[in-house]
A and B are shown apart, each in its own frame.
Chain A
Amino acid sequence: MSGVASRPTEHPAALALAHRHRLRVWEATPWLIALAVYFAFPTYLAFATEVLITILFAISLDLALGYAGIVTLGHAVFFGVGAYTVGILAKQGLWSEPITGLILAGGAAALIGLASGRVLLRTSGLTLLMLTLCTMALFEEAANMAAELTGGFDGPVNTRLVTCYVISAAIAGIAGGLWAQANAYVNLSTLSLDRAATVLIILVLGGHGRLYGAFVGALAYMTLSHFLSQLYPTAWQLGLGLLLVIIALFARNGICGLGETLLRRINRKAAAS
């Protein structure tokens, strides 16, 4: 093994991995579609903005959940921190430039991610799930009381896990900041269990741990939700519940996962014939 490559990055396995993740021509499609929507559906711009924000939020969750394996029901805390950062800065007349405002939003969320991640990520399983839930609930209550909180502990923890968590938090924070700018207000819903659960459903529906799961999931879920959930709210909840049960039992990799299985079957048939 040692004589195969002079540097780790030249090892055949590393080259194969890089090859798998290279950019392909058709990957421009989602971006072209997004641009096209701007021109083709001018009356749906608010909805389209919401979809893009959700995609960003779902991507951030995928980084933590799909790639780092951190099962969290509290990811909305970063979304809310980002949203409230933009909101408070604008309201106090301190800062209203949008692009740098987003950087500040991402930064604030990243700080929360660092502080909480260094402490929470020492645990796993139910304890971690509980802690993420409680952290988000705590921030929601704090926002409710408009109080200030500080925190910080020290201890041994997996740095790569924390790094993933912090980047994920920053992206979620930017998504939240965008939400505040697009809606021109902020409220407690940015910190709610409902938002955290919805983004989790979206990510799982699209397929977690995959590059485009967030895109597919957000598009599918929000389009359906936009048209159905207001007309038939109870039926919508029932359908969502059934969908979750089916996904958990039969399609845990979501739409992208099903697509991959289909592609593999087609390729196998082509190879066999």
Chain B
Amino acid sequence: MHNAIDRADVLKYLEKVFPSAGIGVDIMDAKYNIRYIDPCWKKRYGDPAGRKCYQYFMGRKKVCPNCGVAKALRTKKIIVTEEILSAENNRPIIVTTVPFRTKEGEWLVAETNVDIADMKQAQEDLKDSIHWYRSLFEESNDAIFIADAASHMLVDCNKKALAMMGYSRRKLMSMRVEQLHPKESVAFAMKSFKGMVIGKAISTETEIVTKSGKIIPVIITGTLIIAHGKKRLMGVFRDISMRRESEKALALTNSFLSATIESLFTGILVRDLAGKAMLYNKKFIEMWHFPKSIIAAKDDNALLRFAKDQLKDPKLFLKKVKEAYRNPGKERFDILEFKDGRVFERYFRPQILDGKIIGMLWAFHDITMSKINQDKLCASEEKLNKMFVNASVGAVVVSLKGNILLPNKAFCDILGYSSDELSHMTILDITYPQERKYTRQLMKNLLNNNCESFRVEKRYVRKDGVVRWVEVSVSLLHDSHGNPESFLGQVTDITARKQVDEELRLSEERYRVLSESANDAIYMIDKDGRIAYVNTYAAEYFTVNPADMLGKPLSDFFAPETVHMQLREIKQVFRTGVSMHAIREFDFRGQKVWLDTRLCPIITADGMIKYVMGTSRDITLLKRSEAILKRDKMELKELVDKKSSELLASQDKLNRAQRLSDIGAFAATVAHELRSPLAAIRLAAYNIMKKSGMSPIKGNIDNIERKVMESEHIIQDLLLYASIKVPTREPVNACDVSDECLKLTREIFYDYEVEVERDYKCSADTIVQADPIQMKEVFNNVLCNAYESFKKKKGRIKIEIALYQRDYLRILITDNGQGIPPEKMRHIFEPFLSTKAKGTGLGLPVCNQIMNLHNGKIKISSQLNEGTIVSLLFPIRDTIPGGK
């Protein structure tokens, strides 16, 4: 520009420019002197005369740091600088410094200023604006794409766009608008695009597809912008997937809400503040019986009228409605009673949105049934309560701590306390002391959920101190939240049952003992033929423990044939229910065994035969005995017959003895009767003698005396004969007796001359079991007879004593007296037929009797004038009468 610049051109230029621009021009030289000043500057700042430019314009004392003058002069180029006019509020200006050479060759600068404040401002504003719009563009939450309207190429996009699409900027800038959309949406999108191109500002909903293939619903707002002469389309893509989700959710919620509202049992009516019905559900229509016409008419007043007419108190209803309108902020609740007996609950609350009341909501609930049910429930509860109180089973509600809360009457009766007394007591107070710990444990268990309920037998102590057994069933009562609230106990007095149980136990014990101590086999068989019970005796038979036999089949213990027979019989009892008795022979372990068995059905309480009980007695020995007995029967019969005849013989003898004893009693009386007079006679004789004292009558008295004595002797003999009793046996030596009697007889017959020969073969064997007195009687009798047979008081007697035929002792007394005539011999042993002048004739009969009673014999043989032999046989031993 240096020399090329023509001064004249410059000046011309400057002259043209400056005034039109309103810009002053100043010329400075190299020394910063102001050579020319624009008149406007002069006007403004005054005369610069002598002042340097930096002084004048800038107010500096030195050269401006970036002085354009210096620079221009140096470089000889046009310098454009920006300066701040400190003298004018720091107004920004652009200073154009044009160096030029004068004709003289002096370099000068011409400076012009352009106020760029506005420009600057504008620049700033623009910068700001650009920055702001750029920020807007970039930071927008929506993706913004700018595409060329003609080529459809993307020329710009914001951060969000990149993020949304997933491409790099480079890639995206190489794409066309069509590529943003999925195939399905491209056509539609491009249609909108074209629309936007021709100036229609369109907002469309479509889809884009990202780099990863994800399809995002978007709403695109597009505008046409012309920049740099080019038609560009700016599209703001808003991701509406969230909105879509929300819309879907909302739709879902709405449908859900709608369904809910419709399914409610509550009639809902929502009105706006003006009273217009906004929302109501089917139930609302149904419950108020609104006809379709009224609904269709959408006449709210008609609705209200129709409604109020159904109520018992329509005026009150309307009043409440009006109140609600007046003060919708207040929640209300009341009960509507209908003429037809229905009852509704009415609930009112305001509809609030963002803290403001925007409407009114009524909810109606038909509680007619509910009320009825409630009444029923009350009645039911009442009944239940009565039942609880009056139940025959004791019931009590107890707090978790054990305090008695609610005893019923039966419970009070069991305990003997009044309800009031019990309410001050705990359950442990009435529990038997030894069981308190256990009771506490059970309650704790129940609380800890270890069990749902428990049943226990325990003891209570009544008020009067008596202990009762009870069965208690305890469960938990819960409150409405499901938490345990109290215990419920049901109590039954089982004292009686316990006693019965005890008695039953005792009874069972008795039976058990009975069964166990029996000497027979006792067993029980079940329907399957298995052993249900067996007593010790039976088990011992098989040499096992009773326990080892339980549950086993009979076939374990018996042979198959035996089992078959047993089972047949047992099954019969099961079938018929009739007891069976049988005596059977078994083969048991190789031996024949006889059992006497009884089978009886055991019938349970329900009438079913559960078991068959059997008792078996081993009668093997008995049977054997029977057999033996049968064999010996004949022998026994013979034996019995023989013995019978012997017995009859003895009986005869006994009868005779009896007869004799009868005779004895008779004789006694007779004897006594006779003796009394005899005694009197004797006394009288004595008295006579005493009185008279004369010897002449002495002979007579002597006779009387003698005769009395004779009579007495006769009586004695009679008595003797009559009173001969069963001999009292003792060991008697026959020889001694013989000698003794001989001596006596000799004394009686003192004046007789009799030779006695004794031939005794006496030894220990000649001792006989005999009655000594009776034996003596016999001897005496026989010897006396012998003596009396000697007519001339002279004779000979021989006595022989010896064993005879091993079992008898024979005594032979032989005399050589006058003998006994044959005709007398026949009756010799018959009483009262004596041949003697004196004598009772009882002698020999007495002897005969005595001998018979001794099981012996007396035999007499005699020859007239030759003598008599008397044979006495005494048995040595006490043998059975009749023989060996």
Is A bound to B? Answer: no
Chain B interfacial positions (CB closer than 8 Å to A): none
Chain A interfacial positions (CB closer than 8 Å to B): none
